[in-house]
Structures are given as structure tokens and as C-alpha cells.
Amino acid sequence: MRKRRHRARAVWGAVSAAFLLAVTGCDATGGDSPGPEGTGPRAAASPTPTPAWDSTPESLVAVGDSITRGFDACKVLSDCPEVSWATGTDVSVDSLAVRLLGRSGALRRSWNYAVTGARMADLPNQMARAVTREPELVTVMVGANDACRATVDAMTPVADFRADFEDSMATLRDSLPKAQVFVASVPDLKRLWSEGRTSPVGKQVWKLGICPSMLADPDALTTAAGERRDAVQDRVEAYNDVLREVCEKDRHCRYDGDAVFDYRFGQAQLSQWDWFHPSVDGQARLAEIAYRVVSAKES
């Protein structure tokens, strides 16, 4: 297996603090008349830092794909949003929403607009729905389906992926210029193939059409099969570069620094039906990663 290329990572997007302009006073008596002694221009007020990131947002909307819908975590080939890493209320997951808002808050002030099968091209419409809730935090996890196509040639071009993500962020900023965004990296699909190919049941489910660009002929170790999987992996890494770069340009955005991509999903973290999507335990691990990034204080 070839080595992944190294690249610089940012744990989150641009988070440098801006400062309010100092407010200067005017003459106490107005006009050009000299004021009484001691009533001249006031000293400039001390600048107050404007926080770029609030680690305790009070509402949350999740957008993305099947992972955020909890697909295949509870029952075969079905969504299970109650165990979603982002908005689920199942106690075994301890989702990001529950960690931030409490269980009752998660029920009342978090919404899951992710759609199983969604690609980056679908994100602008999901974001348009998200802004109607006026959330303080939006979570984004999308991109796996852009790489998981029928063939390598059918994968979403990187330029299109970038354009649609930028469009999504613009949709958000047009309505909510200060809403915060947590962006998760695309998982390591080659790692998921490596783990899942040990399961006869999983390989049978893969034949139903789960990520064929990576998972087709899972036992094939030919040069052609290896090159196909490497091409998918390269595209995933390119997508993650886009997510990081676009997020870095937005002072209210944090990228996970490839934490999801780097997480070594094992058999306990994979669905026991398709051996590809996260299990309940895998969803809990994703919630931990997200909370670690979102709750981190400014450095």
C-alpha cells in the first residue's frame, strides 16, 4: 500500500480575532466652543476583542449525507437519525447536539437536514434549508458519495466540488454572516474497504451498489484494482484539501484537521450490515471528534 502524501493541515479555519474600533468622544459643549476644564475629548475606549468562535452555541443544524443520517447503524439499509453523531438523542452516542445543548435542548434546538446519498452538489439546497432555522452552528459532513461512484471516471471533479462548497458557504453567509460552521473531513474509504473486506456478509451487501468505485471486487489485489482504489483515495484527499482551504477563508469556520479521515475505524465502529457506514459506536466516535473541535477555546 503506497504512503499517503503529506500536506499541511489546519485544525480549524481562520480564527484570528478582530477588534472593535475605539470610540472617541466629542466636545462636551458641542460646536467649536471650548468646553469647561476637564471636558475635552475623552480617551479612546479600550478595544474589546470580538470572539471569532463561540464554543457553546445554542442551536445546531446538520447537513450532509448518509453518515449524518445514521444510515445502517440501527437496521439494514435504513436511516437511523436518533444515533446521528450530529443531532441524535440516543444515550449511547452522546451526540454533538446533546453535548452542547443537553438532551432536551437537542430535541428542541437541533435539526438534521442531511440526506442519504447526497453529494456536494446537493449541499447548497441543504444549506438554504438550514438558514431558515437561524442556527448558531452548522455541521457539514459530505463528500464520500462524490468519490463513491459507479466508476472512477464518474467521481465529482475537484473543481466542481470546490464550486459547490463555496456556493454553500455563500448561501449561509448571505443570511447568517456570523453562524459558525464545523466541517468534517471525508473518511478514509480505503481504510473502510480494508476493514470490511474481512466480512462475507459485508461483501454481499456491497454488491447492492455501496461505493462501487472503491468496493467493487473487494478481494481483487491486481495492479488494476490497486490503481482504481488509489485513484479514489487520491480524490478523497483532494476533496479534504478543498474543505480545509475553503473553511480557512471563513473566520467562523473550523475544519477538523483531517481527524475523521485519520480515524482508524475498526470492526466495532462499522455497521454489522454493510461494514462501511459507522455503527452506533462509530457514530459516538464521530461525536467525540466533532465536540473536541467545536468546544476548543481560542488559542
Domain boundaries along the sequence of the chain = 52-295
User: In the CATH hierarchy, which fold is given to the domain comprising 52-295?
Assistant: Rossmann fold (3.40.50)
Q: Which burial class, exposed, middle or buried, applies to 67 when counting CB atoms under 10 A from its CB (0-12, 13-18, 19+)?
A: buried
Q: Which of 262, 231, 228 is nearest to 244 (CA)?
A: 262
pLDDT for residue 122: 98
C-alpha cell at 130: 438550514
| Residue stretches of the chain with pLDDT short of 50 | 1-50
Rounded mean pLDDT of the chain? 86
Q: Which neighbouring-strand residues pair with 254?
A: 182
pLDDT for 15: 34
DSSP code at position 82: G
Strand 49-50 with 18-19, pairing: antiparallel
The whole-number pLDDT of residue 51 equals 59
pLDDT at position 202: 87
Distance CA 180, CA 244 (A): 15
- pLDDT (tens digit per residue) in 211-223: 999 999 999 999 9
What pTM did the predictor assign? 0.83
